[in-house]
Structure 1
Amino acid sequence: MHALRIDDEDEPRVLVVDDDEDNRSLLLDELEFIGCRGIAVANGEEALAELGRSDIDVVLLDVMMPGMDGFEVLRSLRADPTRRMLPVVMISALSDLVNVVRCIELGADDYLPKPFDPVLLKARISSSMQKKRWRDQEAMYLARMERQLAEIERERARADALLDVVLPTAALRELKMTGAIAPRRYENVAVLFADIVDFTRYTETHPAEEVVANLDRLIVACEWALAQEGLEKIKTIGDGVVATGNLSQRHRDPVMAAVRAGQAMIAAAVENPAGWRMRIGISFGSVIGGVVGRSKFSFDAWGDTVNVAARLSGLGSESAVFLCPDAWSRVAARATAERMDGVALKGKGQMDVYRIGEIRAS
């Protein structure tokens, strides 16, 4: 290989912009001699047009030209986000260093004095190509980083959306602020358990797709009913739903809200294609709330109030809303109920239970 040829895997593409035909011809010859592919234009307008349709590595740009001069071309390139990093070497006579300095200040990378020296031309092209490679690598790195950051943000959004489903609003807020959710005791909490009557028997006599589709339809309706009353679903257990009022979000009337939500859930079960019956158990008192597990953690609630609601949801075989005495005392003036004396509840002994009738008009 000739000693003056550019040591580059690809043939550098160089755009020559000069209004002097002799200069253009001379530079094209010199570029070919050092292993570059030259493209020549006579003015600034042609230069921008050529840059718009060709993949150029370096621009050799004359300063003084009629029409759009070198300054205007340079300003246009540096103002274009897609071409602002393109290496530009100004062509100027040694006596015109004032304009060369001005071009450097405007963003030109280097200058090539007239008359042209092949050794210096090769040095300028090689230097410009190295700068271009560095800039291209930097641009690729930044683009890759931006894609990775965007993917991280998408993953974070998906994680937040999942946590928003798993955790109560206040617990999610605490997790984001502190990185943990401290277990605590909550007072004056309404706990609602909902259970589908004879669900297991239904699953044994119907196709899996139908079972899941109908269950999903009912759970979505239950979630909507709970949200309408300002209650929070804690979890789904098989065919059952567990929700609370006044646990992580303040609620002025959680028991009545649970009664209304329970009645709406019963109506949704009846209207479901499966025509299910649903029993609702509602208790009122203190609970402990927190997060357990690591691989598939979830927020949960524990305590006697939770156990009582679960036991109430298992009473009878018909659709009904059952309340413990403490829950009933919160709504007794605003609803009718059938009192069921001394009902045996597993783990609790006997308890008076109230089966809700109607909610009185306020």
Structure 2
Amino acid sequence: MFENLSVERELERAGVPLFAWNEPIKLDGGRAQQILQRRINQSVTEYEVFNALELSWGGICTHVREGWNIGRPPYGYNLRRIRHPNPLRASKGLTKSRLEPHGSKAEVVNQMAHWRYYEWLGYETITDLLNADPERYPSPLPYGAKRARGAWSKSAVTDMLLNPKYTGYQVYNRRSASTGRRTFKDPSLWVWSSEPSHEPLIPKWMFDEMYARRRAHAGSRDGGDRDSHVQTCRTYVLRGRVFCGCRRRMSGVCRGTGGTRTYYMCWPKPIRVGHSGWYPEHPTTLYVREEVFLDGISHLLRTGCSVRTVATSSPPISPLARIMRCRSARLSAISFSGESTTSPDASEMCSTRVATAPS
């Protein structure tokens, strides 16, 4: 409406008369009736536009809530065509589609979720593992054949592991293109099917946990090898695997003459300490000796820890791998009392928390 009025005012200032299709052409006399008729026409037109958009959106949401697929199937799935439920459209040859697993490619998705959830591997590391065996892990094909690179990319791996369709549900309205680039919308705006519509490749509980902690790995590379920076002179045994009670990843530092004492430090930015959602009792800097963690892990390995088994199609992981490689086994009992540089009893200091399926 605003754009129409702006154009109308510009034409009036230029001396150009404007008439609607059902207005009488009058260049003299009163204009009130003409303006009223014109505004009614504009309002009805705007109503029709918004009504058509709302009906279209409602139809798409109903289509998704009933479990029908929209667009190209994700990697690991094939389309299964089904006769259209509307007899009139079915007589014209129209169909609807659901998803069904694609044997070997579905196993690739399972393996990727296994690496990400149980071993906490980053997207880049998963990409390298997939590209190392292209026959076992065939790369996805893009929409345009000319864009095919014949290899996995980090963006493709990220999009797949963040795609909720692998949980067995149909999901729509995940991305927005209104800003000029495709960005993720808030999950509360996603449209989900009322119930699972196809076989899941990633359990729903596993996807929810991976999505919730998707940024926890940011800024930390995989592996314990030395960084490529020229000033790097040492590595840390538990690099990237120790978290403070405030949920921040602790970084390794060395202190003492010649750097003989290794600590893991939590040093949050001063602007964040005490803000809502953080820990106001958090000290400015928290140091914990590496021996404290190693003693606790050794104690757990000697005495064993209770870990619920998880049904999965992938090979099981040894208890050592669960403790040392799975970052969800966080040493979460770090206190803020300032006494963390002394080694408490291992049974009180350390606790492993391996994320499993809800019972």
Range class of TM-score, shorter chain: under 0.3
Structure with higher Rg: it is 1
- The structure that is strand-richer by fraction is 1
TM-score normalized by the length of structure 1 = 0.22
TM-score normalized by the length of structure 2 = 0.23
- The structure that is helix-richer by fraction is 1
